[in-house]
Structure 1
Amino acid sequence: MAIFGSLRDMSFPDLVGMLGRRSGVLEVFALPGHRQAYTIALEGGRVLWVREGRRVLEPLQARSVLQELFRMSEGGFEFVPGTPPPPPDGQVLGWPLERLLLTMTTVEDEFRAYSATLPDPRTRFQAVSMDMWLEEPLWSFWEKAKPLLGQPGGASAEELARRLGLREREVVYYLHKLRLAGKVSPVRAYEEALKRRDESREGLFRRLFASLLGRGR
């Protein structure tokens, strides 16, 4: 039997809690500011795939959508129990939905805690370190954003959100975490650091050259 209702009467976290470990397809629609409905395939409480309209989302985009739904207070939903179809590309997410929502709660709390220190969305960042282990979902974001952050002039949160199909709010948060991890730096600070490094090397070469000249006399 299908279950349907409104997010005004039942929030998305409460809806997930009610569904528990059921299998089926959950559709969330009529969301403010969203033209497309979102479809979530569940199997035993695990997320198999997430679709926007007819497009199956890649993992980072799917996580972004679920986090957005977590905050939604308007819209409708319908859950049809049964065995969901596999994704067209065969890639299964396999995320335990309840655990995922707990992670999202932590991220939302951290976002509020960091809100006063988060960078402006127009600030451009440059990658300064390519090799470092990161936890999910920061690692997935880093893998997607690294080519853009590594290009001359770096990239801003606005640009990354547009190019990666993510929400600007989340990209700002991810950039803040990457900056704390020492993987990115604002472009101006990055350029100044390179200039200081080059000046330091030039000074070292001058001292070595002067030392060699002194020994030769």
Structure 2
Amino acid sequence: MALFGSLNALPLEKLLQLLAHKEGAVEIWNVKDIPATTLYLKPGYIRSIDQHGKPLEALAAKATLQALLQAREGSFEFLPGAKPKHKVRLNWPVEKVLLSTVTLQDELERYRPLLPDPRAVFKVTPMAKKSLPQESFLRKALPYLQKGVSAETLTKALKMPLDLVRFYLFRLERKGLVERTGKIEGVRPGLLGLFLKGMGL
């Protein structure tokens, strides 16, 4: 039997707990800044997360799920028994994903006042290459970070929420894997001093 409703009445976190032991697809639409998304489930697991009929790779899928779990507007429908037509599988345990997403959101909120300016330019440090296997965000962002890039530009390139990108850069900076160049994207060098002075820095 199909189940449908709004995220305002039934947030995705509770919906996933309700469907934890079901097989099928949760279609979600009308969420601000997020394209229509389909979560394919099997008992206890998220099989894959699709947009435009194609599976998202792990980093984009995680960012999309993070944003959807925070959403309080949007519509959903559960289609029992539906399976993805592709072979890509995330196979994420539902309980573990919900716990790690809540933990990440708590961390993000705690450090929000310390997050970098969206236009601050970051570059990768020599130390970073040793951390690539563990840091999936760093691996994905590396081509941009080698040239120097802001969170604002990375958001568009990686199709991830701005605050999440800022948080990942902040975390990588604390580990010494990226560093700020002192430049602000879109600000001419001569204006940088005035900009920083205006910001009280």
TM-score class, shorter: 0.7 to 0.9
Matched with 2:23 is 23
Q: Deviation at 1:56? A: 2.1
CA displacement, residues 90-113 of structure 1 (integer Å, 9 cap, x when unaligned): 221111122111101111111111
What secondary structure is seen at the aligned counterpart in 2 of 1:74?
A: coil
Match of 2:182 among 162, 179, 188: 188
What secondary structure is seen at the aligned counterpart in 2 of 1:25?
A: strand
Cα 1:114/1:134, change in 2 over 3 Å: farther
CA displacement, residues 65-92 of structure 1 (integer Å, 9 cap, x when unaligned): 10001100011111111151342xx221
Matched with 2:89 is 92
| TM-score after normalising by structure 1 | 0.79
Q: Distance in 2 between matches of 1:20 and 1:119?
A: 37
- Root-mean-square deviation (CA, aligned residues, Å) is 1.7
CA displacement, residues 144-181 of structure 1 (integer Å, 9 cap, x when unaligned): 00111112xx1100111111111111100000000011
What secondary structure is seen at the aligned counterpart in 2 of 1:69?
A: helix
Q: Distance in 1 between matches of 2:131 and 2:124?
A: 15
Q: Distance in 2 between matches of 1:134 and 1:33?
A: 30
Cα 1:156/1:7, change in 2 over 3 Å: same
Structure 2, gaps ≥5 residues long: 184-201
Matched with 2:141 is 145
Matched with 1:132 is 130
Matched with 2:115 is 118
Identical aligned pairs, as a percentage? Answer: 35
| TM-score after normalising by structure 2 | 0.85
What secondary structure is seen at the aligned counterpart in 2 of 1:101?
A: helix
Matched with 1:32 is 32
Q: Deviation at 1:5? A: 1.0
Q: Distance in 2 between matches of 1:3 and 1:78?
A: 6
Matched with 2:162 is 168
What secondary structure is seen at the aligned counterpart in 2 of 1:120?
A: coil
Matched with 2:103 is 106
Q: Distance in 1 between matches of 2:182 and 2:6?
A: 47
Letter in 1 for 2:111: Y
- Tell me if structure 2 keeps the 8 A contact 1:43–1:83: no
- Tell me if structure 2 keeps the 8 A contact 1:4–1:79: yes
Q: Distance in 2 between matches of 1:50 and 1:25?
A: 9
Q: Distance in 2 between matches of 1:180 and 1:69?
A: 27
Q: Deviation at 1:188? A: 2.8
Letter in 2 for 1:148: Y
Structure with the bigger percentage of strand: 2
* TM superposition outliers: structure 1 runs of 4+ over 6 Å: none
